[in-house]
Amino acid sequence: MPQERRTPAKLDLLQGTLDLLVLQTLASMGPQHGYGLARRIEQLSGDEVLLNQGTIYASLVRLQQRRWIAAEWGVSETNRRAKYYSITKAGKRELAEETSYWARLTAVVGRVLAPSGGSTK
């Protein structure tokens, strides 16, 4: 099933990847606001992902539309009003599926690229 959703366009893959990162972050850290998510993803990726933090909001809208995350206004530890996102049950299911798909995909791509990758270095 998940393969069907993967169109070869580069943009889709990036978009899907960001969605996956958001879901994973919410699953492992609990409810987060937009900035927290962006910051967390930057940290986890060792600041390797050059994230335009604004783009995370399109992803959040999309995930809400799909009912994979829920949003709620809350108060931060610094007493600031912020919107908090949390992963839903459907979101957890999706995350599990996507993670296994991702693992398979990267394994395959890794295998295919390995020999030539080695020789160019």
Partner 1 sequence: MTGRLREWWERLVGFLRGRQQDVDFDDELAAHVELAVEDSVRRGMSREDARRLASMKLGSRLAARELAGDQRGLPWFESWIADLRYAWRMMWKSPAFTATAVAMLAAGIGLNVIVFTVTNTVLFKGFPGVRDNERLLYITALRSGGASYADFEDWQSQARSFQGMALVRGGRYTYSDAAGMPETFDATAVTAGTFRLAGQKPLVGRDFAPADEVPGAAPVVVLRHGFWERRYGKDPSVIGRIVHVNGVPTTVIGVMPPGFSFPQNQDFWLPLVPTPEIRSRANHNNWFVLGRLADHATIDQARAELDTIGKRLEIAYPLTNKGFPVTAHRFHEFFIGPNATLIYQAMVGAVGCVLLIACANLANLLLARAMTRTREISLRLALGAARSRIVRQLLVESVLISSLGGFAGFWIAKWGVRIFAVAATGAGLSDQIAGNWFDHILDYSMDYRVFAFVAAISIGTGLLFGLAPARRLSTLDVNASLKDGGRGGSSRRSTLSALLVVSEMALAVVLLAGAGVMIRSFLKVYTADVGFNRHGLVTALINLPDAKYPTPAARIAFFDRLKTQVETMAGVESAAIGSLPAGGSQRIPFELAGAPPVDGQRLPVLAATTIGPAYFRTLGTPVLAGREFEDADRSSRVPVVVVNQRFAAAHWPGTDAIGKRLRLIRSNAPGPWLTVVGVVATVAQNDPLQPESNAVIYLPYQQENRASMWVIARTSLPVSGFAGALRKEVQNLDPALPLQLGPFTVADRLAERYQYRAMSGMLFLFCAVAALLLASIGLYAVVAHWVSQRTQEIGVRMAIGGSARDILQLVLTQAVTTIAFGLGTGLGAALLLLPALKAVLIQVSPADPITLVVAACALSAAALLGCLIPARRAMRVEPLRALRAESS
**Window contacting partner 1 (CB under 8 A); options: 6-14, 21-29, 32-40, 110-118:** 32-40
SS3 30: coil
Q: Is 6 in the site for partner 1 (CB under 8 A)?
A: no
Pick from 13, 80, 104, 110: which binds partner 1 (CB under 8 A)?
Answer: 80
Q: Are 33 and 85 in contact (CB under 8 A)?
A: yes
Query: Considering the complex, what minimum distance in angstroms separates the CB of residue 52 from partner 1?
Result: 4
Pick from 17, 20, 62, 92: which binds partner 1 (CB under 8 A)?
Answer: 62
What tokens were used for 17?
């990847």
Give the E-state strand segments of 13-75 in sequence order: 32-33, 69-75
